[in-house]
Amino acid sequence: MSTLASEFVSTSEDKAFDLDHRRIINNNIGKYDTAVLRGLSRFSDLENSKRKAHTIKWKVMENLDKLLPEFESNFQRRGGKVIWANDAAEANNEVLNILRKVNAKNVIKSKSMVTEEIHLNEFLEHNGIETVESDLGEYIVQLLGQRPYHIVTPAMHLSKEDIARLFNEKFDTPIDATPEQLTLKARELLREKYTSADVGITGGNFLIADSGSIALTENEGNARLTTTFPKIHIAIVGIEKIIPSMADLDLFWPLLATHGTGQNLTVYNTILSGPRQPNESDGPEEMYVILLDNGRTNLLAQKDQRQGLYCIRCGACLNACPVYKNIGGHTYETTYSGPIGSIITPHMAGMKEFKHLSYASSLCGKCTEVCPVKIDIHKMLLLNRRDSVNAGLNPRSEGIGWKGWKMGMMKRKMMDMLGGGLKNILLKTFFKKSWGKHRDLPGVSKQSFSKQWTERGEN
């Protein structure tokens, strides 16, 4: 078992039996479930919308080589600049080159999972550039020195009391401050950061090919401020985020908002098509879009599993997953946690290091059921398991064990050869540890089913 897999098993056990953690996450996901159920009821034909979104994303992946240059051409026509980055190192270095060109010392950043993926904050800090997260949840976890816990709600694992204690320690606010008071304090602290930042950095929810635009969706307005005040705006976006037409937002924005938070639409929805034009009063003087691969073409090459690239990052599968709801987001040690992270991470970051994530599932299928673009997630998990076995990444002992099991299952005499008592001894000797110290092994009957059937004269 790899180091990452061992740590995953150990941390999972700790989190699964941390009752305070379970209380907080189940309370927050419970609120989400109520809101989303109400939001989904407003769709006149949800299933048809999901099928349509799936079809559009399928067409996108089949035509990625045409749609991305189309976006690039249209974006550049309005004065924007496009940079292609093969991996995290290239993306980070391109950002640093832009910052050094303008002698930037501080950066304001809106919520972006792709910048978490490339560890941009740590990279810039190492190079002497201050980066401040402007999304409230991201700002909170940044103050704690943590990674986001969830794709949509980065601080889902914290209670209001936890956040009040944090603000009390950092900013001397009252220990019993209300959520409203804490939000106002964050607003007070961040407003000055917008006006003084040299560069604003965002992600992008969608890239629009036919207009050469990026679409941002948010609830706090921080992304708008991040793209408006600084003279330079850098958007780092995964290549899979492309959609063919502006008209497709009519479908994807409501699907994303409803599955993400239960809203019809999020509060702020912005379309940016380049730097400030001569007849415009605000916006950046320069705008860059960095198109990031970072393993996405590895997944694209997997015909059976490229569905993972359809994901619109709504977080619905995380909130539905019984495993995620017990072990939480940080346990995965990946940018993208939960079911979707388990299917894409092995291809983007290495099957050898992350194959264990595809086994962290009950295969109940709830993730597939709730996905707004109908990704067959639980099937993808099985295909990842298949690939890890075919690549010879499973331990030799596991292969021997399965061969023995197959031989026994194929022949009734071999199944009946060992009595129930001996089978129980074998189970306790070889499987007790993997079964878990908090559960009792099931007992095997002293007589096999076939012998019981024979004795009853049912043959």
Q: What is the mean pLDDT of residues 313-336?
A: 96
Q: Whose CA is closest to 360, among 332, 380, 387?
A: 332
Q: Is residue 267 part of a domain?
A: yes
* Per-residue tokens: 279: 């007849």
What CATH number is associated with residue 232?
A: 3.40.50.10420
The Cα 215–Cα 206 span in angstroms is 5
Domain contains 377: no
Of 294, 312, 347, the position where a domain reaches its end is 294
* CA-to-CA separations, 37 to 30, 257, 259, 261, in angstroms, rounded: 11, 12, 9, 10
Same domain, 437 and 288: no
Q: Which of residues 46 and 458 earns the better pLDDT score?
A: 46
Report pLDDT digits (tens) over 32-45.
999 999 999 999 99
**Rg, the chain, Cα only:** 25
Q: With cut-offs at 50, 70 and 90, classify the pLDDT of residue 87.
A: very high
Spatial separation of the C-alpha atoms in residues 239 and 57, rounded to whole Å: 12
pLDDT band at 294 (very low <50, low <70, confident <90, very high): very high
State percent of the chain over pLDDT 90: 81
Q: Are residues 120 and 268 in the same domain?
A: yes
What is the chain's mean pLDDT, rounded? 93
Give me the sign of the Cα torsion angle 366, 370, 376, 381. negative
Segment 14-40 mean pLDDT: 94
- pLDDT score at 459: 55
Predicted local confidence at residue 124, as pLDDT: 97
Mean pLDDT check: name the lowest of 183-192, 285-294, 403-412.
Answer: 403-412
Strands 286-292 vs 232-238: parallel, antiparallel or unpaired: parallel
Do both 419 and 270 map to the same domain? no
Q: Classify residue 317: in a domain, yes or no.
A: no
- Point out the least confidently predicted range of 108-112, 114-118, 439-443: 439-443
Q: Is residue 363 part of a domain?
A: no
Report the alpha-carbon distance of residue 102 to residue 44 in Å, rounded: 50
Same domain, 416 and 273: no
Mean pLDDT over 121-141 rounds to 96
456 has pLDDT over 60: yes
Cα–Cα distance for residue pair 264/42, rounded to 1 Å: 8
Give pLDDT, residue 420. Answer: 67
Q: What is the mean pLDDT of residues 4-19?
A: 91
d(CA 82, CA 72): 6
| Domain finish residue from 229, 264, 294 | 294
Check: CB of residue 183 under 8 Å from CB of residue 139: no
Number of structural domains found in the chain: 2
Give the three-class secondary structure for 457.
Answer: coil
Could you tell me which residue, 138 or 446, shows the higher pLDDT?
A: 138
Whether residue 149 is predicted with pLDDT greater than 70 in this model: the reply is yes
Tokens for 105, please give them.
């010392």
- Write out pLDDT tens, residues 422-441: 777 877 877 777 777 777 88
Q: What is the pLDDT of residue 65?
A: 96
Facing residues of 132 across strands? 108
Same domain? 435 vs 286: no
pLDDT band, very low/low/confident/very high, at 1 (cuts 50, 70, 90): low
Q: What pLDDT sits at residue 444?
A: 82
Amino acid at 249: L
- The tokens describing 80, both together, are 């924007």
Last residue of a domain, one of 247, 262, 294: 294
Three-class secondary structure of residue 204 per DSSP: coil
Distance CA 202, CA 180 (A): 26
What was the pLDDT predicted at 79? 96
- Residue 106: its H or E element: strand 106-109
Instruction: Write down the pLDDT at residue 281.
Output: 85
Query: Do 120 and 244 share a domain, yes or no?
Result: yes
**Are residues 354 and 334 in contact, defined by beta-carbon separation less than 8 angstroms?**
yes
Asked if residue 15 belongs to a domain, the reply is: no
Q: Does a structural domain hold residue 416? A: yes
User: Which domain, by its residues, includes 444?
Assistant: 396-455
Taking the C-alpha atoms of residue 254 and residue 244, their distance in angstroms, rounded to an integer, is: 17
pLDDT at 380 over 80: yes
Please compute the mean of the pLDDT values over residues 221-227 and round it to a whole number: 94
pTM of the model: 0.91
Q: Is residue 223 part of a domain?
A: yes
User: Is 338 a domain residue?
Assistant: no
**Are residues 91 and 234 located together in one domain of the fold?**
yes
User: Which pLDDT does position 427 carry in this prediction?
Assistant: 78
Q: Which of 374, 301, 380 is nearest to 341 (CA)?
A: 380
- What is the rounded average pLDDT of the residues 405-425? 76
Q: Looking at 88-97, 138-147, 385-394, which range is the least confident one?
A: 385-394
Q: Looking at the structure, do residues 100 and 223 belong to the same domain, yes or no?
A: yes
